Structure formats: C-alpha cells, structure tokens
Structure 1
Amino acid sequence: MNKSIIPNLFTSANLAFGVIGITLSATGNTFWASICVLLSLVADGLDGRVARALGVSGPMGRELDSLSDVVGFGVAPAYMLYMNELQGLGWLGYLPLLVFSVLGAFRLARFNIKTDEVHGYFEGLPIPAAGCLAATYVLCGVQIPQLGLFVAMIVVGILMVSEVKYPDFKGHSAVRTNYIAVALVAIIVAAALVYDYHTWAVMVFVGYVLFGLFNTAINSVRK
C-alpha cells in the first residue's frame, strides 16, 4: 500500500468536515457546524505530522492540504456565521462572507509560494486560526451586534492577507516577543473573562489575533 494514502486521508477528512459543516449550516445547525470546524483543525494538525513520520511529505499533500483548508477554515466558518447572524442583512450579508472566504484562499496561495522565504512565523493570520475563531464564537453562544460581526469578518479577512507576523509554535521563532504586547493581550483577555467566563474558548483565538497585531506594531515602532 502507498503510505502517502494515510496522511491524505487525514487531509481529506479536513475537507469532508468542511463540507458537512456547510450542509449543517444550511439547515440552521450552526452548533454542530462549528464542531466540524474544530474537527477540521484536528485533521489538519495530524496530516502533516503523519506524513513526516512516514517520510511521505510531498507536493501532492501540500496542494490537497491547501484546497481542504479553503473549505474547512474559509468557506465553512464564513457561511456558518452568515447563516447564524447575517441572513437578515440580505445581499449585504454576502460581503463579509465573500471577503472572509476569498481572502482566506489568497492567504493560502501566498503561503504556498513563500514557503522558502518565510520561516519561524506566519505572515498574516493563519486561516485555521480564523476558522476556529469563528467556530468558538458560535460555540460560546455570545453574540456581538450584527454590525460588529460584519466588520469583524472583514477585518479577519484582511488580517489573513496582511504582513502581520504571528507565532507558528514550531520551535525557534523568528519574531521577537514584546512583553508589552503580551501584557496588553493578557489584560484584555482577563477583562473579557471577568465580564463573561463563557467566552474563554473564543478569547484564546482573540488573544492570538491581538498579540500578532500588537507585537508587530510595537516592534515596527521600535525599529
């Protein structure tokens, strides 16, 4: 048996969970659609590790991974948020849906062509983090105003194609950690949890988003 089939099955599971999530959102079941996004994260985290362990990493797996990520972390969570809260906006509700999904695809395309240039950090918000931010927001059951969600989805889309540097947690980081940024994020997250501890899951990803922004901004000013 070709050993590359095994990691490709995990990658395909990422895609499959994305498709299932979309169908669940279409029927109004956004809770389980958000669970599918998190399951996509598990599958996405395993495929690369299994491929490296088996020594079968290659271009086929990388391309399939990106295509699956577009669905699992781009289209599926964006459509989930649209069905959960933005339907009432009519055609205007399509704007954040499209921005989130399309810019997520651009982010993955840029990642693929810059793998030899960018090391020790992520350039732009990783699409799995964006997708899981959406999923945990739904799971927490806390709703922000419709306009706030509209703007937030567009901002997240822009962050994915930005040059903001995010930690990749793969060992040595090429990004200097500024402790002022860490402190600011800690204060914001702590305040949010004091206000409503049910938001703990989404605040993990909010904290990651904010840390990249604050850390990049402070390091740029100091340069």
Structure 2
Amino acid sequence: MNKSIFPNLCTAANLAFGVVGISLSAAGNFTGAAICVLLSLLADGLDGRIARALGVSGDFGRELDSLADVVGFGVSPAYMLYMMSLDHYGWLGYVPLLVFSVLGAFRLARFNIMTEEVHGYFQGLPIPAAGCMAATYVLSGVRVPDVVLMIAMILVGYLMVSNVHHPDFKGKGSDPVQPIAVGITVACGVFLALLDYRVWPVLIFVLYTVYGISNTIINNIRK
C-alpha cells in the first residue's frame, strides 16, 4: 500500500469539511459551519505531521493541501460570514466575501513558491488563522456592526498577502521578539476581554495577528 494515502486522506478531510461547511452556511447552520472550519484545522494539522512521520512528503501533497486550504479556510468561512450577516447588502456584500476568499488563494500560491526563501516565520497572515478567526467569532456569540465586519474581512484579506511576519512556532524565528510588541498584544487582549468576556476564543487568533503586525513594524523601524 502506498503510504502517502494516509496524509492525503487527512488533506481530503480538510477539503470535505470545507465543502460541508459551505452547505451548512447555505442552510443557515452557522454553528455547524464554524465547527467544520475548526475540524479543517485539525485535519490540516495532521496531514503534514503524518507525511513527515512516514517520509512521504512531496509536491503532490503540498499542492493538494493548498487546494484544500482555499476551501476550508478561505471560501467556507468567508461564505459563512456573508450568509450570516452580509447577504442582504447586494453587490456590496460580495466585496468582503471575494476579498477574503481570493486573497486567501493568492496567499497560498505565494507560500508555495516561496518555501525555499522564507524560513522561521510566515509571510502574511496564515490562512488557517484567518479562517479560524472567522469560525471562533461565530461560535463566541459576539456580534459587531455589519460595516465593521466588512472592514475586518477586507483587512484580514489584505493581511494574508502582506509582508507582515507571523511566528511559525518552529523555534527558528528570524525576527527578534520586541517587548513593546508583546506589551501591545497583552494590552489589546485585556482590553477586548474586558469589553466582552465571550471574545476569548477569538482572541487566540486576533492577538496572534496583533503581535505579528506590531512586532514587524517595530523591527522595521529599528532596522
């Protein structure tokens, strides 16, 4: 038996959860759709580890993984937010939906061609973090005004294709950790938690984003 089938099954599960999530969003089951995004994260985390453990990492798996990520973390969460809050805005509601989805695809394409150039960090917000930010927002029960949601989706889309450096947690970070950036991140976390304690699931991904932005800006200034 070809051992590569095992990681590829996890990648296929990532894609399948994305498709199911889109179907659930169309039916108005946004909680189920959000859970599917988190299940995609679980499957996405397993496929690479299994492939490395079995020694079957390769180009096919990497390309399949990106295709699955576009659906699981790009199209599915963007469509979920659109159907939950923005579908009654006509063409205007399509703008954040398309920005989030399309720029997520651009981010994955760039990631694939820069794997030999970028080490020790993620260039641009990783699409799983973006998708899970949307999922935890839905599950938290917190709701922001629709215009804020639109702006947030567009901003997250931009951050995915930006040059902001985010930690990859592999112990090989090339960017110095700036205490000021850590302080800004902690302060934002405390402030948001005090506004509404229900935001704590979203904070995991929001504060990851805030730290990447602030640490990158400070490092660029000090260079």
TM bin, normalised by shorter chain, reads over 0.9
Residue 30 (str. 1) matches residue 30 (str. 2): yes
Alpha-carbon deviations, 1:159-211, whole Å to 9, x = none?
00000000001122112111101111101111111221111000111101111
Q: What is the 5 A alignment of 1:51-200? A: 51-200=51-200
Q: Is the 8 A contact 2:133 2:202 kept in 1?
A: yes
Q: What is the CA–CA distance in structure 1 between the aligned matches of 2:77 and 2:175, rounded to whole Å? A: 29
SS in 2 for 1:192: helix
SS in 2 for 1:142: coil
Q: What is the CA–CA distance in structure 2 between the aligned matches of 1:72 and 1:182, rounded to whole Å? A: 30
Give the C-alpha shift of residue 51 in structure 1: 0.4
Residue 219 (str. 1) matches residue 222 (str. 2): no
Q: What is the CA–CA distance in structure 1 between the aligned matches of 2:11 and 2:175, rounded to whole Å? A: 29
User: What residue identity is the alignment partner of 1:221?
Assistant: I
User: What residue identity is the alignment partner of 2:54?
Assistant: L
Q: Percent identity?
A: 67
Alpha-carbon deviations, 1:49-106, whole Å to 9, x = none?
0000001001110000000000000000000000111112111100000000000000
User: What residue identity is the alignment partner of 1:145?
Assistant: P
SS in 1 for 2:90: helix
Residue 17 (str. 1) matches residue 17 (str. 2): yes
Q: Is the 8 A contact 2:175 2:219 kept in 1?
A: no
Q: What is the CA–CA distance in structure 2 between the aligned matches of 1:170 and 1:76, rounded to whole Å? A: 28
SS in 1 for 2:14: helix
TM-score normalized with structure 2 length: 0.99
Give the C-alpha shift of residue 21 in structure 1: 0.1
Q: What is the CA–CA distance in structure 2 between the aligned matches of 1:16 and 1:137, rounded to whole Å? A: 22
TM-score normalized with structure 1 length: 0.99
Q: Is the 8 A contact 2:3 2:56 kept in 1?
A: yes
SS in 2 for 1:125: coil
Count of matched residue positions in the alignment of Structure 1 and Structure 2: 223
- RMSD of aligned Cα (Å): 0.6
Give the C-alpha shift of residue 111 in structure 1: 0.2
Q: What is the CA–CA distance in structure 2 between the aligned matches of 1:99 and 1:128, rounded to whole Å? A: 16
Q: What is the CA–CA distance in structure 1 between the aligned matches of 2:192 and 2:67, rounded to whole Å? A: 35
User: What residue identity is the alignment partner of 2:20?
Assistant: I
Which aligned segments of 4 or more residues in structure 1 are displaced greater than 3 angstroms? none
Unaligned runs of 5+ in 2: none
User: What residue identity is the alignment partner of 2:193?
Assistant: L
Q: What is the CA–CA distance in structure 1 between the aligned matches of 2:21 and 2:98, rounded to whole Å? A: 17
User: What residue identity is the alignment partner of 1:115?
Assistant: T
